[in-house]
Amino acid sequence: MADETLIVPVADGIADLEAIFTLNPVGSRIWELLEPPVTYRRLVEVVAEEYDVSPDEAARDVAAFVEDLLAAGLIESVEEDG
């Protein structure tokens, strides 16, 4: 909708309209980057670069956002190769 990204969780083919997530531009960008598997380190690099914030600030923001997505069951963690 407009400049927002909405995530509607679906379980057993039914949308959970009570649990809609509205993402700000940074959250939307991270969501886009998650489409192919991506490392946490890469997420932090992109956020720091594209939003002109320190790597420490980017790391805190990315960690909080990813933890929220994991807790909601919207993403899952996979092991890195090598």
Give the domain ranges of the chain.
Answer: 24-76
Report d(CA 52, CA 46) in Å as an integer. Answer: 10
Question: Which pTM does this prediction carry?
Answer: 0.75
Record the tokens describing residue 21, joined without a space: 């997530």
DSSP state of 72: T
25-71 residue pLDDT tens: 898 899 899 988 899 999 999 999 999 999 999 999 999 999 988 98
| Burial class of 71 by CB neighbour count within 10 A (0 to 12, 13 to 18, 19+) | exposed
